[in-house]
Structure 1
Amino acid sequence: MRDKRPSDASNEFALRWRAYPESVYLTRSLVSQACEACEAWGLGRLDYVGRTIMSELATNAVVHAVEGHEIQAWVTLVDGAVEFRVWDPSHAPPVVPEADAEAEGGRGLMMVRLLATGGCGYRLISGSRGKVVWARLAL
């Protein structure tokens, strides 16, 4: 399911979709849409980095969620930063694996940590309803 719209035209864009690997591109589109619509936030200059962060968060959600389950994403203006959030139904905390030069994957969260100039983290949702992983870009 795709539901891309401003939640509040002044500061938030949201998207819901199903957890399939081929759907991750939708989150990059969400960031681009937010950047175009909210140039006043200073997002134009953050488009590439924002799409990279959101893509990595969404990829992790798809990889760790049950295929076909709903996933949600948001781009929000919060406290002088642009926040990228992804919700998935898994309760497992995100893990940054040990660096392995031979590995073909597993660098996404490490990259998000380096790019997120306003911090990053996660929070569990009460009532066993998954988690939200977030990263911020300072404006």
Structure 2
Amino acid sequence: MYGYEVTEPRLRCVLPFEAAPAEVRLLRRAAVTQLARWGTPVAEDEAELLVTELATNVVKHVGEGVSATLILEWRGERLRLEVHDTSRALPTPSAADGDSECGRGLHLLAALAVDWGTVLTAVGKAVWCEILISAGRTCRRIERAAEALEGYQGISAGAALRTSSRAAGLEESAVELIADLLHWTAARGHDPDDILDRAQMHYEAEADAA
């Protein structure tokens, strides 16, 4: 399973996968790992369940072994989960007591997500849903930090190479970024300790208000 990311104008991750039970488990794990890297304030269990449902529907109703793609997109107050496959048959909800597993899956999407839908694409269709995540300044600060670290890791690739995982690479990038900012502060005649104290005060004030 391979993925690529585009961080502008939003945080976005594309994860191609093969429609098979074993791949669904790997996809779920990859999605949760990506959300953790971004610091997305969303319930992990909820995201896992939605990814599993979207991917499993491809296995059951398009065919095992077909190629599909999961797209994660975080912008503002919503996280969007979108699965593309090669079938142009649009799923429809079943009656609440119906026997259709696909229909029950859509009812689950409707119950957990703030919005969902299906759309035809050039090569098939996409089924998507959106989760509402924490709003406000703290959420925007986390999103902005994730954007900065993604870009900073690309510039300072050595941080990622010295670690065994990309998540650990981002942590190392955060340390290097803070150290660089302290060097920048000292070079302009300011006290790095004072800057750290002021940043800590901002963090604690906003954490207490959350």
Identify which of 119, 122, 128 aligns with 1:123.
119
Larger relative strand fraction: 1
Partner of 2:126: 132
Query: Is 2:108 the counterpart of 1:111?
Result: yes
Q: Which amino acid aligns with 1:8?
A: V
Identify which of 77, 80, 83 aligns with 2:77.
80
RMSD of aligned C-alpha atoms? 2.0
Query: Which structure would you say has the larger RCO, counting Cα contacts within 8 Å and 6 or more residues apart?
Result: 1
Give the alignment's TM-score, normalised by structure 2: 0.56
Distance in 2 of aligned mates of 1:132 and 1:84: 10
Could you report, residue by residue, the CA deviation over 1:56-90 in whole angstroms, capped at 9, with x for unpaired residues?
Answer: 01111111223222110011113420000101101
Distance in 1 of aligned mates of 2:129 and 2:30: 15
Alignment of 1:1-139 (within 5 A): 2-5=1-4, 7-9=5-7, 11-39=11-39, 41-43=40-42, 46-100=43-97, 103=99, 105-106=101-102, 107-117=104-114, 119-126=115-122, 129-139=123-133
Distance in 2 of aligned mates of 1:27 and 1:90: 20
Could you report, residue by residue, the CA deviation over 1:106-129 in whole angstroms, capped at 9, with x for unpaired residues?
Answer: 422111111002x00011003xx1
Structure 1 unmatched runs, 5+: none
Contact in 2 for aligned 1:19/1:61 (Cα 8 Å): yes
Give 1 or 2 for the bigger CA radius of gyration.
Answer: 2
Give the alignment's TM-score, normalised by structure 1: 0.83
Query: Which 10-residue stretch deviates more, 104-113 or 17-26?
Result: 104-113
Structure 2 unmatched runs, 5+: 134-210
The aligned length equals 130
Contact in 1 for aligned 2:94/2:100 (Cα 8 Å): no
Identity of aligned residues (%): 25
Secondary structure of 1:132's match? Answer: strand
Q: Which amino acid aligns with 1:67?
A: E
Q: Which amino acid aligns with 1:135?
A: C
Larger relative helix fraction: 2
Secondary structure of 2:81's match? Answer: strand
What displacement does 1:100 show?
2.2
What displacement does 1:104 show?
8.7
